[in-house]
Amino acid sequence: MDNALDKQLEKLNFNLIEMGALVERAIACAAKGFINRDVQTAKNAFHINGEIIEKERQIENLTIKLLLRSPNPVQLRQIHAAQKMIANLARIGDQASDISELTVFMADTPYCVDLFVLPDMARETIHMAIDSIHAFVHNDINMALAVRDKDDSVDKLFVSEKDMLINAIHSAPECSGQALDFLMVAKYFERIGDHAADVAEWVIYSITGKHTDK
């Protein structure tokens, strides 16, 4: 029974890696599509999000099977943490789709507002999502803590982006509509960072048995 459970836990880790890779691709497509006004790349995020949703269902079914095998307390924490993590990863996929939806919406109008720090937000959140999954698979609490702390940097980038967009609206009122769309994109990236930090929090819980909301 223990060997079978260990193999299923390995399968769980592998599926989490696959889901993390899908999430990475979704954010990358959303970011590239938005920054480069590339509608086709943006639309790819929609298709990838469909795969993320399917992967979430697969992992949910796997965790139910694992729970039926009477896992020990440490294994139970890992399974519970995985359930929480896939929920956050799925939300990241949704946010990537939201960014891509705005990209498609704005496709016919040239950008009249500077991107400011949006590319930096995209890069940071992609790294956070990747590192949070790696932290779980490798049982690396230091990496999880680093992801959690990096959320502060993303929050600061969001505040900077918001302030610069407000200034842009004042200096070019005709671009106010687009500036508000850019602000929505920035908010979606900020939320992606929040979800990645939540994943890291559950990694810490799976290792220590303690969970605290940042």
Which CATH number do you get for residue 136? Answer: 1.20.58.220
> What's residue 214's pLDDT?
54
In a domain, 74, yes or no: yes
Structurally, the chain folds into a number of domains equal to 1
The Cα 64–Cα 155 span in angstroms is: 35
In a domain, 120, yes or no: yes
Which residue, among 59, 48, 53, has the nearest Cα to 84 in the 3D structure?
59
Q: CA 154 → CA 75, 89, 125, 157, 189, distances in Å?
A: 32, 17, 7, 5, 8
Query: What's the average pLDDT block by block, 10 residues per block, for the chain (214 residues)?
Result: 81 91 94 95 96 97 93 90 95 97 93 94 91 87 95 96 95 94 97 96 90 66
In a domain, 140, yes or no: yes
In a domain, 101, yes or no: yes
Which residue, among 189, 11, 25, has the nearest Cα to 98 in the 3D structure?
189
Q: What share of the chain is helix, strand, coil (3-state, %, to 5)?
A: 85, 0, 15
pTM above 0.75, yes or no: yes
In a domain, 73, yes or no: yes
> What's residue 1's pLDDT?
47
Q: List the structure tokens of 20.
A: 């993390």
Classified as helix, coil or strand, 158 is helix
Q: List the structure tokens of 76.
A: 């139970």
Which domain range does residue 70 map to? 2-208
The Cα 177–Cα 161 span in angstroms is: 15
In a domain, 214, yes or no: no
In a domain, 213, yes or no: no
In a domain, 45, yes or no: yes
